[in-house]
Structure 1
Amino acid sequence: MIIYLALINYIAFIMMKRDKRKAEKQKWRTPEAHLWLVALIGGAFGATLAMFQFRHKTRHLLFRFGLPLLTIVQIGLIIYYFN
């Protein structure tokens, strides 16, 4: 479980970083649905970290408030699971 969570959060972080770089270069972007899917299956922390580190999607209210909220929920579920 720990390996899965580390991997999915790494993937989410890299996806957000690449999407930011593509946005800067006016290239094809990663669909928001894909970013949300990876966040929902456990990568919310990585996506949130990348969002604030790269200042990506911070103008979108759903991302700015939804990802941190999803992160809190997922951390709560992880604590519940391991206790």
Structure 2
Amino acid sequence: MTIHQRAPRRARNVFLQRLPLWLAALFALALALAAVLAYLPPALLFWPAFTSVVCLVLYARDKYAAVKDRWRTPELTLHLWSLLGGWPGAALGQRLFNHKTSKRSFRVVFWCTVIANSALIAWGLGSADGRDALREVAVQIEHWLARLDALAGP
């Protein structure tokens, strides 16, 4: 192959296929580090983990439904959960189940949810107003978790 020839399509796409997983791992590491350094309330680590698990389950269910020709999860639902913080689970679901990886319009919206969610977290960590908003969200999550714990009983 000469210098001016392009690499085979599959070889070029390997990096792009793995990029969401690397970004999800980097995102999780950054959130954990922010919590350890007290920039982020520890309760906020629960939310991305929860929404990621929900996204992963939705992708698994949707892939199963696609294979069995059954009712599918609406794309809007997948995108909303991704936007709410579950994009790392969505990225994992796309990779594990080879699902929603070829439809260009879906991938574009998925990347928009990643950027929007990451920008929101960056704003939350980088500004006084953002940190106050994140603290308030953390308080709400802690109350919600306490209610769930009370419902579970002893």
Q: Same fold (TM over 0.5)?
A: yes
SS in 1 for 2:71: coil
Q: Which has the higher contact order (CA 8 A, sep 6+)?
A: 1
Unaligned runs of 5+ in 2: 1-43, 127-154
Cα deviation per residue 1:6-65 (whole Å; 9 max; x = unaligned)? 000000011001000000000000100000000011011110110111011111113335
Aligned pair partner of 1:38 in 76, 81, 89: 81
Kindly indicate whether the alpha-carbon contact (under 8 Å) linking 2:79 and 2:109 is maintained by their aligned counterparts in 1. no
Unaligned runs of 5+ in 1: none
Q: How does 1:1-83 map to 2 (within 5 A)?
A: 1-68=44-111, 70-71=113-114, 74-75=117-118, 77-78=120-121, 81=124
Which one has a bigger Cα radius of gyration? 2
CA RMSD across the alignment: 1.8
Give the alignment's TM-score, normalised by structure 2.
Answer: 0.47
Tell me the distance in 2 between the aligned counterparts of 1:48 and 1:54: 10
Taking only the aligned residue pairs, the percentage that are identical comes to 34
Tell me the distance in 2 between the aligned counterparts of 1:14 and 1:75: 22
Letter in structure 2 aligned against 1:59: S
Tell me the distance in 1 between the aligned counterparts of 2:69 and 2:114: 29
Give the alignment's TM-score, normalised by structure 1.
Answer: 0.80
